[in-house]
Amino acid sequence: MEELNAPSQEFLEGFNKGYVLREHKPELALSLRQTKFPDNQKDFQTGFLGGIEQKEAELRKVKSKGFSFGKLREQYKDELNLGDTAKGKDIDRE
């Protein structure tokens, strides 16, 4: 079995900074993604870009889950009577 090497400290630092920056300052993170890093910072750059991509993947996943549930609710609302639950029900009061 192939043994995986632990990521370098520079990679981890870049990943964390890219992730947090994409979370809190998305426009800045996306513009910095186009930046050319110096050759001696390739691990940092790889981690930085990986952190941005990881956060984007998580955001897409959350967005797609919310979209699909909302769409399903809307599509089957009438069949499942998800509207007003008391609507059309007579209450016997004796």
The predicted pLDDT at position 12 comes to 97
The predicted pLDDT at position 55 comes to 95
The predicted pLDDT at position 63 comes to 73
The predicted pLDDT at position 62 comes to 77
The predicted pLDDT at position 52 comes to 96
Q: Where are the domains of the chain?
A: 9-80
The predicted pLDDT at position 67 comes to 61
Instruction: Give the contacts of 56 (CB within 8 A, at least 6 positions apart).
Output: 22
The predicted pLDDT at position 78 comes to 73
What whole-number distance in Å separates Cα of residue 37 and Cα of residue 73? Answer: 47
- The tens-digit pLDDT sequence of the chain (94 residues) is 556 789 999 999 999 999 999 999 999 999 999 999 999 999 999 999 999 999 999 988 877 766 666 676 777 777 766 555 555 556 666 5
